[in-house]
Amino acid sequence: MLNIQQQVPLLKYNTLALPSTAEYFCKVASDNELQEALAWARQKQLPITLLGGGSNVVLASDLACLVIHIAIPGIELVSEPNQAEKIIRVGAGEDWHQLVLYTLEQGWYGLENLSLIPGLAGAAPIQNIGAYGVELSDRFHSLEAIKLSSGEAITMTLDDCQFGYRDSFFKGAGRDQYVITAVNLKLSAKANLCLEYPALRQYLETKTLAGVTPPAITPKQVSDAVCAIRRSKLPDPTEIANAGSFFKNPVISSEQLETLKQKYPNLVNYEQADGRKKLAAGWLVEQAGWKGITSSGVGVHDHQALVLVNYHGTGKDLLSLAGDIQASVLDKFAISLEIEPRVYCK
């Protein structure tokens, strides 16, 4: 039975451990419970905020709404179009990293580069999560969602989701209109490794598998390497409150890059398929002098400048620091940094 509570602290529901209180709160573990929660909110004429793992949000105020915590479980093989291809259905409340480990155990490959990304499966399409040369859209088949305004259940295809770099339909025209209940992924029984990302390739060559040729590398070894790299760069949110990468890596034109390189010849950049260049936001923040800085209970991580951390501050403190960083990077490089997590504030 659905249990709707009042005045619920959200400290444990966001990895930045920011103080915030939900006026109303419930946890849903099935589509039926979700429909019941949506109907209740419509009856009370309350806005809705959806929370999954809380790893990509900044709670900068209390939430005067019904907060629905998505906890719908389930991982199942639903189709085998051919001997190699496997389509699996994943409940929106499944932990993403545990999903990756489970698929590797089953011999369903394709998610290994996306290991150790925090959060739940239902949030993965919203952000079009990506790491080390692979994006969710590369492994995506379809998703199941419910329209918030009416409770209508729909299925959305790859084209429907309009995926882009850390972007999707759900961050644009579909923002705050749908709740994802399940994600269908297209995996393979045959390993088809993506080892092009420089940091991953270097790690495999020098630290894990010296002298081993790429065909001998297994998906599990790729996953282990990704986990090791991520742990060396990003703090564990259970030890230091953070939301991972706080700023998107900006994408600029080749002409803008050449202008910047005249002044900053060591500017870190990556070639994009459309000819533009992606810059490392962490490098920009570090070069602007912010690495390790603390202020008002929040700060920039001392090992990874892309990560903002919370020691004992508030969401407003964190956003103030982020604004100062953005202004500094804009002044130094003429580049605007975009905040990656979803910000909730009055």
Q: In what order do the strands lie in the sheet with 75-79?
A: 75-79, 85-91, 178-188, 140-147, 153-157
3-class DSSP state of 96: helix
Q: What is the dihedral of CA 265, 267, 268, 269, to 10 degrees?
A: -90
Residue 272 is predicted with a pLDDT of: 86
Residue 165 is predicted with a pLDDT of: 87
What's the token pair of residue 326?
A: 């953005």
The residue ranges of every structural domain in the chain are: 5-70, 75-188, 198-233, 241-344
Residue showing tokens 């495999």 = 204
Residue 271 is predicted with a pLDDT of: 87
Give exposure, 297-311, as e/b (b: 16+ Cβ within 10 Å): ebbbbeebbbbbbbe
The conformation of residue 208, written as its DSSP 8-state character, comes to: I
Taking residue 314's Cβ as centre, other Cβ atoms within 10 Å add up to: 18
> Residues with catalytic annotation?
166, 245, 340
Does the domain made of 75-188 have the CATH classification 3.30.465.10? yes
Residue 314 is predicted with a pLDDT of: 97
- End-to-end CA separation in angstroms for the chain: 32
**Fold designation for 241-344:** 3.90.78
Residue 135 is predicted with a pLDDT of: 97
CA–CA separation, 334 vs 184, rounded Å?
A: 40
CA–CA separation, 65 vs 25, rounded Å?
A: 8
User: Among 103, 66, 62, which residue's Cα sits nearest to residue 86?
Assistant: 103
Residue 273 is predicted with a pLDDT of: 82
Q: In this structure, which CATH number among 2.40.160.20, 3.30.43.10, 3.40.1670.10, 3.40.109.10 belongs to the domain 5-70?
A: 3.30.43.10
Q: Mean pLDDT in each 10-residue stretch from start to end of the chain (346 residues)?
A: 95 97 98 96 96 95 97 95 92 98 98 96 96 96 96 97 94 96 97 92 76 72 95 91 95 94 92 90 97 97 96 97 98 96 91
User: Among 81, 51, 83, which residue's Cα sits nearest to residue 68?
Assistant: 51
Q: What is the pTM of this model?
A: 0.91
The conformation of residue 62, written as its DSSP 8-state character, comes to: -
Q: What is the dihedral of CA 159, 162, 165, 167, to 10 degrees?
A: -140
User: Among 79, 87, 163, which residue's Cα sits nearest to residue 129?
Assistant: 163
